[in-house]
Amino acid sequence: MHIKMFNLEIEKKIVDFIKKGPLGVTSSDIANYIGLNRMTITKYLAIIKEKALIDFKPFGMAKLWFIPVNLSKESFLSKIMANVAVNMPKDEFKTISEKAGISLGEEIYSMYLKFYGVNKLSFDQISDAYADIGKKLGGNFKTRLANEKISIEIAKSPFERGSALSINKILSVVFAKIASINWGYARAVVSEPKEDGNVVIDVYLNREEK
């Protein structure tokens, strides 16, 4: 079910309005608040429900729309990570994140050596490993090879927006550690988000690269 001109602002208003009614609100309540007819609101609700942003429960002949509780171990830890990253002194967080990234990088590198059955990974295998890490985490990492450099574009982050920045820094350490074990040197740089929101992590394999 689609609406020709689906308006994200209307979606936001609907979700925000439903949030204000913890016991749930009816389609009529929503239609009256937004100022659209019931048929259009019904189509919006169906699309928003497909995104798992809202849900409903039967209430007599009507439906009560509410915000589902979305809590998992991953989201719980992600929120803790985001809070720690914001409140911990930057130098302290940098030290801890680097230690975590190095440890993870060593462990993950061993996994891919075992997977490929080799003693050292090729340039293409490292690039494929980076993309595979993103896939296994539930995201979408696009890799691009250049001379003495591998670029990893995070087209879809597997992490919640609040923790993505801090996790990306740890990921950059993981990527750099994997490459440095393999070739003896690597340096990773995290870019500022592009216009589409995607972030690129460049892994340089030459000390002279800037």
Give first-to-last CA distance, the chain, whole Å. 50
CA distances to 71, 172, 193, 200 from 196, in Å: 28, 20, 8, 12
Domains for the chain: give ranges and CATH numbers: 8-66 (1.10.10.10), 73-204 (3.30.1380.20)
Closest Cα to residue 14, out of 50, 52, 54? 54
Instruction: Indicate the pLDDT class of residue 200, thresholds 50, 70 and 90.
Output: very high
- pLDDT beyond 50 at 1: no
Radius of gyration of the chain (CA): 22
pLDDT in tens, 174-194: 999 999 999 999 999 998 887
pLDDT tens-place string over residues 81-108: 777 777 778 788 788 888 989 999 999 9
**Which is nearest to 110 in space by CA: 129, 123, 136?**
129
- Pick the closest to residue 111 from 93, 90, 126 (CA basis): 126
Residues 6+ apart with CB under 8 A from 56: 24, 45, 49, 63, 64, 65, 66
Q: CA torsion angle for 184, 98, 150, 138 (degrees, to 10)?
A: 130
Q: What's the pLDDT band for 208 if we cut at 50, 70, 90?
A: low
State residue 71's pLDDT score.
Answer: 61
Q: Bigger pLDDT: 4 or 205? A: 205
pTM: 0.61
The β-bridge partners of 25 are 65
Nearest-angstrom CA–CA distance, 139 and 141: 7
3-state secondary structure of 44: helix
